[in-house]
Amino acid sequence: MEYRSQLDFKIGVDDWEQFIERIDLYFMANDITNEAKKRAILLTNVSAETYAAIRKVCAPKKPAETALADIVEKMTQYVKPKVSVQVLRDRVRQRVQLENETVGQYIAALQELSRDCKFDNVGETVKDQFLNGIRDRNIKVALFREENLTLATATTIAAAYEVADRSVDEIKTPEREERKEASEDSNEVNRLGSSKTYQQKYAKPRGRQRDERKKDSSKITAATKTITGRSLGAAGRKNIMLETVGIKRESVITVVREDI
């Protein structure tokens, strides 16, 4: 049974090294060991532009006459020229965490950059640059407090802080939305209340407003005197309390509570 896979490679778009890794897996899955067959499969799974590049690097021979290993090596140099190790190491040291880049993504990027740097201890190098380049100061301080810090421990601690911060932000977001909606409602009420049409329709003459306030005040005073008088007639055994709940338009709303 043949295992099929999408192996098309397009120069300038796809990664050549990853393509070679995948096609080697394809050969393994299908028990393909014949070198000529392997070469034919590779050459028929690349774009026209890629095949033209292969012809160029294999000249004066044709690709079909060139050993598969030579094709792979020549194309590797063509699409990805060898860079000085010092340059590669400098790229690692210059790499800082990007905005909105997670801890996991940042560490993965450092590990990828370190792949061809020939560091004696890749884990230590990645850890040191992670400490240097991480954006969150609280995470950095927490990691500096750890003794015998390893890359695995640093990853665990930093990820925990990151999850906690994200959870707090998710809790705060609904509160901010509620405050925003309340503010918008308040602004709408103020806008309507200050509009000329509203004033003309609902506003009362100032003299009438003063008369109604006096009238409401008199009602409250009279009600208080009435209730107080009743409480005195009860021989002091009941405390009658009058609470003015509110005034709505022209009526006074009161609540009488008796405490025995």
How do the domains of the chain map onto residue ranges?
Answer: 16-79, 85-170
pLDDT at position 120 is 93
Contact between 25 and 47 under an 8 Å Cβ cutoff? The reply is no
| Residue 41 in this model has a pLDDT that exceeds 80 | yes
| Residue 229 in this model has a pLDDT that exceeds 80 | no
Q: What is the pTM of this model?
A: 0.50
DSSP 8-state code for residue 8: -
Measured between its terminal Cα atoms, the distance across the chain in Å is 94
> Cα–Cα distance between 250 and 209 in angstroms, integer?
11
- β-partners of residue 259 are 239
Tens of pLDDT, residue by residue over 123-158, are 999 999 999 999 999 999 999 999 999 999 999 999
Take residue 10 and report the two structure tokens written for it.
């397009």
Work out the pLDDT band at 254, boundaries 50, 70, 90.
very low
pLDDT at position 168 is 74
Residue type, 54: I
> Cα–Cα distance between 144 and 141 in angstroms, integer?
5
| Residue 212 in this model has a pLDDT that exceeds 70 | no
- Compute how many other C-beta atoms are within 10 angstroms of the C-beta atom of residue 103: 23
pLDDT at position 210 is 61
| Residue 213 in this model has a pLDDT that exceeds 90 | no
**Contacts of residue 143, Cβ cutoff 8 Å, sequence gap at least 6:** 131, 134, 149, 154, 157, 158
> Cα–Cα distance between 14 and 165 in angstroms, integer?
36
| Residue 243 in this model has a pLDDT that exceeds 70 | no
Among residues of the chain, what percentage have pLDDT more than 70? Answer: 62
> Cα–Cα distance between 63 and 71 in angstroms, integer?
7
| Residue 43 in this model has a pLDDT that exceeds 50 | yes
Q: Please state the φ and ψ torsions of residue 254, each to the nearest 5 degrees.
A: -130, 155
Tens of pLDDT, residue by residue over 63-122, are 999 999 999 999 999 988 778 899 999 999 999 999 999 999 999 999 999 998 999 999
Angstrom CA distances, 74 to 22, 50, 66, stand at 18, 12, 11
DSSP 8-state code for residue 195: S
DSSP 8-state code for residue 250: T
Of 220 and 159, which is predicted with more confidence?
159
